[in-house]
A and B are shown apart, each in its own frame.
Chain A
């Protein structure tokens, strides 16, 4: 009897030790991922990400994600924090910005192997659930470091009611676009809403026009030409003249010169202007300003006759996650990114933040349905300023942006723009 009691006691004791050891082991496996975010905590996108985190933590009780909501200066703060030894596992930012910053400096974890893993909710590799071109947009030598999760297109946004009232259709060519503008002017509308002093937006015209005439990639090639002579390619004089024509014809009203953001785009909401070349975030930005009957439509920059680019080539401004390569938990961080790419999670972002997302088969909000169509039909996509933004931000800010703004504002002629760009580009590359 005593012996039996002894054995039972020993078993109980052993069991307790095992449980205790197991508990210690489980505690040791607790993992904390640190995510520094480009969002402010109360923004719609941040609220969705908070839901993603909560759901992920519920599925993975041993992983905790600690989010730091930094807002748009995130990358700058990350830079300083990493230099100071702060542990950060995941960051997000506009893909153009992060590609030109942390990624270019080699802080990104290569994601190719993780992208070969199956998606969580579909029997295909994760890489195959993305909309065409999005994963490769900032690939370096075939290596992928960014996982895009929000998709903005740059298109002309308009009120379908106005087009019906004036009796015009979505233009597919530049000539149709100008003809539409004539009718809009006659009907009392300013054909184009824009800002006179906002290069971030006005360069949409340059990038799209050059992409239509020479195809995506040509503007970046030109910017990288150390001699600057590529700026003398006829496409730049033609582009400059066509853009100035919009001002000279009054398609862009002269008063636009005095608008800073968002004063120009607001004229679209007020019903004064008819179209605005902006990102697909515009319907959300103007949601509280437009009247309830406003019917949002979007169309791609029109094709130019004889041009090498297609009307379906789309300027895509993506927002992306990146895993910091020195993370101690790459697999868990990658698992979180795989998790956010499920249909359910992507649909949640599309529904609650009313933005475009990068996964195929998700229904975007009705106001940006045309953005989704553009994303799905895109033959090629190209980033901001055709990649100049990400790869040569200083050149864009100090050379291209300055001279292009002067052209846009009519302070220099198209020929002067071409000459200045050729000369100053050569000077720039001689010292950089």
Chain B
């Protein structure tokens, strides 16, 4: 049956209109706002051209935030995907309780972020927290009082928590992909005497490539604009040592406790964030491009 072009356009129109109105218009408006000095109160704006972007390039906190975001993206991604691969390999090796393990590892994804930050905050509390109590119990007094949430380690403490939360999501994604791979491939490999690792490397990974690519794109977008966890991890206010670009943008534009309200400048940060996301996704898609395997 041949569907007329008019009908296709008709069906596409509502979604396209919504996309245009709620995504494209705000995006291009944001580009415009980023050229103004504006606190967001009323219409009192003054055009400053590219000054916001010039200021951004000399803004220490912006670069500190960007560096944290990049570290979460690269290092966090490496650990998350590494762990997700290992767990996928283990869970698909035929062990009992596969569903239980999957559910347990995925569990953090269904818990509210604020509950998770509270949990991790208390876990890291020196002396009274879980880690403190553990080290205290085994007689490691110095470690029991170690300031995990101190300025030098707070970012790393946060990264560990993020990895713990996110690994479950990518594990489930990979497991769903593995379920689609015909069992015959593995049986043939076993008959040929392949080890578990060889089967994983030579069958699972190549046939899972598309899923891995999608996972990496999703992670990149999430990691570059990560907000909720860093925002609520460090008490009353986000800590500068764990600022991400999205957190910094929020602080500048919308305020937490401090009435900064530099909406024009914050929008410039947002535009940079969008550009970084686009760049990362483009690079990733290029790096991950492979010949498609049919099965």
Contact = CB atoms under 8 A, between A and B. Distances in A.
**Max count, chain A CB within 10 A of own CB: residue among B122, B126, B150, B236:** B150
Contacts of A107: 41-42
Interface in A261-315: 261-263, 266, 270
B153 to A, nearest CB: 8
B260 A394 contact: yes
A259 interface: yes
B151 A101 contact: no
Interface stretch (A72-80, A132-140, A228-236): A72-80
Interface in A189-234: 195-201
Interface of B, helix, strand, loop or mixed by DSSP: loop
Contact of A409 (B126, B128, B150): B150
A258 B262 contact: no
Given A105-B41, A259-B126, A263-B128, A100 B259 contact: yes
A201 B40 CA distance: 28
Interface in A357-413: 389-390, 393-394, 396-398, 401-402, 405-406, 409, 411
B147 interface: yes
Given A83-B42, A107-B41, A405-B240, A258 B258 contact: no
A96 B257 CA distance: 9
Contact of B150 (A96, A258, A394): A258
A198 B149 contact: no
Interface string A100-133: 1110110100000000000000000000000000
B258 A393 contact: yes
Interface string B44-60: 10000000000100111
B257 A97 contact: yes
B229 interface: no
A101 B126 contact: no
A259 B149 contact: yes
B127 interface: yes
A105 B42 contact: yes
Contacts of B258: 97, 100, 389, 393-394, 396-397
B53 to A, nearest CB: 13
A390 B259 contact: yes
B235 A105 contact: no
Interface residues of A, number: 52
A261 B235 contact: yes
Interface residues of B, number: 43
A390 B260 CA distance: 9
A196 B151 contact: yes
Interface of A, helix, strand, loop or mixed by DSSP: helix
B187 to A, nearest CB: 53
Contact of A76 (B59, B254, B262): B254
A42 interface: no
A254 interface: yes
**Max count, chain B CB within 10 A of own CB: residue among A83, A199, A257:** A257
Contacts of B235: 195, 197-198, 260-263
B120 to A, nearest CB: 11
A94 B126 CA distance: 32
B36 interface: no
B237 A198 contact: yes
A409 B259 contact: no
A244 to B, nearest CB: 15
Interface of A: 72-73, 75-76, 79-80, 82-83, 94, 96-102, 104-105, 107, 195-201, 254-263, 266, 270, 389-390, 393-394, 396-398, 401-402, 405-406, 409, 411, 431
Given A76-B255, A393-B261, 4 more contacts: A97-B259, A197-B151, A261-B235, A401-B240
